[in-house]
């Protein structure tokens, strides 16, 4: 079957989370290097990144993504795929407010907060397929994390694409069945669209 939809993980796939974490460290009164070191340690140990607040002993501050946080290849890739006639989406384990940043660039957005289910749960990926309105094998799912993105997408019957960026993208080795890109500029050719 031909691809009809491409859905992206919002986080490190489309958005460079470095600035967000720096703003969060500043708001929490934590040194940026300490915050990044703890996040890296959690990633390397396969632990939930949200544990950073517990380990720092602070409440999670309000910090949101901004348009300046997009990777340079993100918005052009979304536009290119839409011009090629594909349905494009962005989803993530995020607050519902994160959807607003992507809404103008995609056909569909989804957040764990609004959907009331988080990746890597199969129900999250079933919801993606339902929102796309096509068969699972007609959906490509693009993400940086093997555990939260690539493996669950494969299990759901989707085409899975691993993008090697962000800490998880560099720490995780995708399974053989996954497609691989270093940049979203490569994605249309790798997908054959």
* pLDDT, tens digit (0-9, with 9 covering 90-100), for 60-107: 887 678 889 999 999 999 999 999 999 999 999 988 888 999 999 999
Mean pLDDT of all residues belonging to the chain: 93
Ordered structural domains, the chain, with CATH: 5-16+67-191 (3.40.50.1000), 18-56 (no CATH)
The pTM (predicted TM-score) of the whole model is 0.90
The rounded Cα 182 to chain-centroid distance in angstroms is 14
79/3 Cα distance (integer angstroms): 16
Q: Say if residues 174 and 142 touch (Cβ distance below 8 Å).
A: no
Model confidence at 170, pLDDT cuts 50, 70, 90, reads: confident
* pLDDT, tens digit (0-9, with 9 covering 90-100), for 129-154: 999 999 999 999 999 999 999 999 99
The highest-confidence range among 38-47, 89-98, 178-187, by mean pLDDT, is: 178-187
Phi, psi of 15 (to 5 degrees): -120, 130
Q: What residues contact residue 42 under an 8 Å CB cut-off, 6+ apart? A: 48, 49, 51, 52, 55
Question: Roughly how many angstroms between the first and final C-alpha of the chain, as a whole number?
Answer: 12
What does DSSP say about strands 179-181 and 5-9: parallel, antiparallel, or unpaired? unpaired
Max Cα separation, the chain? Answer: 51
Q: Say if residues 118 and 9 touch (Cβ distance below 8 Å).
A: no
The token duo for 8 is 């992206």
């Amino acid at each position: 079957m031909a691809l009809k939809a491409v859905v992206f993980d919002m986080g490190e796939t489309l958005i460079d989370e470095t600035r967000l974490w720096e703003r969060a460290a500043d708001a929490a009164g934590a040194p940026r290097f300490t915050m990044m070191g703890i996040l890296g340690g959690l990633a390397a140990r396969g632990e939930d990144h949200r544990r950073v607040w517990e380990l720092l002993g602070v409440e999670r501050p309000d910090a949101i993504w901004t348009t300046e946080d997009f990777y340079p290849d993100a918005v052009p890739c979304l536009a290119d795929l839409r011009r090629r006639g594909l349905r494009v989406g962005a989803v993530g384990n995020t607050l519902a407010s994160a959807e607003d940043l992507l809404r103008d660039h995609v056909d569909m957005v989804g957040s764990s907060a609004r959907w009331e289910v988080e990746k890597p749960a199969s129900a999250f990926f079933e919801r993606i397929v339902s929102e796309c309105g096509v068969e699972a094998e007609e959906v490509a799912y693009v993400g940086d994390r093997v555990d939260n993105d690539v493996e669950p997408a494969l299990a759901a019957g989707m085409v899975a694409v691993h993008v090697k960026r962000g800490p998880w993208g560099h720490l995780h080795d995708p399974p053989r069945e996954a497609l691989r890109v270093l940049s979203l500029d490569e994605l249309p050719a790798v997908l054959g669209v």
